[in-house]
């Protein structure tokens, strides 16, 4: 479980988790999440220099302890996608 908090209250926990995972792969990648209440998803904005990649994690993913590994693999894959942006 990335966080027990809901909605916008969870953003600091998700930001800390995301940056911790990102820094293990690439010190230059920054993770900045925001909460989309309409879709009940967390949008993670990955930034490296001029490159930006957006992707979503659902509340179900973020709040389920069994899916934390899935979230980490997804983030790692998206960081690799960010590296490959032209």
C-alpha of 13 from chain center? 10
What tens digit of pLDDT does each residue of 38-61 get? 999 999 999 999 999 999 999 999
**What gap in Å lies between CA 19 and CA 22, rounded to an integer?**
5
**What gap in Å lies between CA 53 and CA 64, rounded to an integer?**
24
The pLDDT value given to residue 85: 87
Any idea which residue has 């980490």 for tokens? 72
What tens digit of pLDDT does each residue of 2-16 get? 999 999 999 999 999
Domain ranges of the chain: 7-83
């Amino acid at each position: 479980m990335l966080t027990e908090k809901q909605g916008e209250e969870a953003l600091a926990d998700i930001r800390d988790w995301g940056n911790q995972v990102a820094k293990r792969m690439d010190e230059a990648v920054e993770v900045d999440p925001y909460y989309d209440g309409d879709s009940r998803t967390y949008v993670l904005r990955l930034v490296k220099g001029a490159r930006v990649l957006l992707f979503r994690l659902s509340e179900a993913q973020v709040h389920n302890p069994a899916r934390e590994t899935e979230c980490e693999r997804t983030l790692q894959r998206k960081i690799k996608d960010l590296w490959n942006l032209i």
